[in-house]
Amino acid sequence: MNAYEILGLAANASAEEIRIAYLNKVKEWPPDRSPEKFEEIRDAYDELSDPRKRAKAMFLDTTFTAPLVSLIDSLPVRRAFTGPKLWHEVLKAK
């Protein structure tokens, strides 16, 4: 995951959005409970809060060379709405 993904931000996030996302993530993953995750979040924030580092990371990005399956690895969970019929059938069967 890149820094944007770690903080759950869009690539064109503003400095304020980056700061807020960082604070929210720190609340979610406090250093005393999740030191490794916190470190990851802090590194991501360090990168994104410095415009030069952020720009360098953007210009050196090579994620497009990763295996194509990585495109769907980070997809959120997807579930299909089926209507009530299939659910009812399970409820009625004992």
Confirm or reject binding of residue 46 to other proteins (CB under 8 A). Answer: no
Confirm or reject binding of residue 77 to other proteins (CB under 8 A). Answer: yes
* Least distance to other proteins, CB of residue 1, Å: 15
Sole residue written with tokens 């295996």:
67
Coil, helix or strand at residue 10: coil
Q: Please, what is the angle between helix 51-59 and helix 35-49, to 10°?
A: 90
Closer residue to other proteins, CB minimum distance, 39 or 88: 88
Closer residue to other proteins, CB minimum distance, 8 or 39: 8
